[in-house]
Amino acid sequence: LGKTTGWIHRATLKAKGVSMLGGVEYLGVDDDGLRIRVDGSEQLLPVDHVVVCAGQEPRRDLHAALQAAGIGAHLIGGADVAAELDAKRAIHQGSHLAAAL
């Protein structure tokens, strides 16, 4: 998020009870939740939804693997198109997708 406007989005998300974690290594998603590693410690987060805001290179390997396994998945934001990244657009896409599901 931009230096001048990012705080607005973070404040809005915090007010809605959204937890944000940085420096996380994503290990996997299963029926129990999201498995991560933070500071060398593995953790399980019992979540229903995950929004990942990371990097500027599209990463489609997980999407491709899920599709190949017959698991429905949606590709949005920078994971789909990393050129001219727009966090507000990505959050908007994620919110609309979540509402549609």
Dump pLDDT digits (tens) for 42-100.
999 999 888 766 556 777 888 999 999 999 999 888 788 776 667 788 888 999 999 99
- pTM recorded for the entire structure: 0.45
Q: Where are the domains of the chain?
A: 20-47, 51-101
How far apart, in whole angstroms, are the C-alpha atoms of residue 9 and residue 74? 23
- Is 23 within 8 Å of 38 (Cβ atoms)? yes
Mind listing the pLDDT tens digit for each residue in 8-47? 778 888 899 888 888 889 899 999 999 999 999 999 999 9
pLDDT score at 3: 58
